Amino acid sequence: MAQYSGIFTLSQASQAIKDNNWTGLPPQNVEYLVVAGGGGTIANRGGGGGGGGLLAGYAGITLGSSYFVTVGAGGVVNTSGGNSVFDSTTSAATTGRIVALGGGNGNGIAGGSGGGFGGVSGSDLGGAGTSGQGNAGGAGIANVAGGGGGAGTVGLNGSGTICGNGGAGIASAISGTVTAYAGGGGGGGNTGKTAGAGGVGGGGAGAIGTPTTQLAGTSGTANTGGGAGGGSDYGSTPVTQASGGSGIVILRYPDTFIAATSTT
């Protein structure tokens, strides 16, 4: 059976879905994938940002009604990702019926998936994930950061001279193409260390700096909810750190439903 899909990106911050010409007997459901924005990093610290929380399933709808959708922005410096919501109460609401939580930033902050930790000394734990949405970030040690958690797996710990990789996201074919979402950002570190790779699903890679040059990690991929890669903390001139990738909301429904009357 053919399917209609509505794919909503950050530039479409809210969307109303309306249908008033369906007379069949099957349940009035839509399939959804709701991915929140990925977490950013913090200035002068290498923890990877957590991937945005990911929720998938089916939801009942009332034909002829409008449903607000909010798409979470990726987190910038010192900021976690924004929530993504299907069936919000208003066009800019961060709460509603189905809420995916933004990824935690790379300072060990909890979120849909938790951020990694840059590590100052000893072992600094990564942020916790949210059950059913994502996983915890990795711990860091001095100058060797942990990776951000992903929707599918935890972020890895920094160990020895190796920074932690970001956790893997989860793949979905709801858009018609198999795509991975909500990977965690890799941890960054300083000279002589090895940067963490970004998790599959849009996670950014970490960066390695030198005693005189501070470097930023790679930003998470837009419309995947990938976490930002962690940067280094050496260097006299701070750089603009990486941002998390914006989230996405995808709805799919049978062609016994007519296309949405309007999307605004």
Rounded distance, CA 243 to CA 227, Å?
7
Q: What's the pLDDT score for residue 261?
A: 72
Per the structure, the complete domain to which residue 37 belongs is given by 1-264
- Residue pLDDT tens, the chain, 264 long: 344 445 555 544 334 344 444 344 455 889 999 999 999 998 777 899 999 999 999 999 887 888 899 999 999 988 999 999 999 888 888 899 999 999 999 999 999 999 988 866 666 889 999 999 999 999 999 889 999 999 999 999 999 999 999 999 999 999 999 999 999 999 999 889 999 999 999 999 999 988 788 889 999 999 999 999 999 876 656 678 899 999 999 999 888 777 777 676
The count of domains in the chain is: 1
Q: Vertex 11, ends 95 and 240: CA angle to 5°?
A: 90
C-beta of residue 243 within 8 angstroms of C-beta of residue 220: yes
Predicted model pTM: 0.88
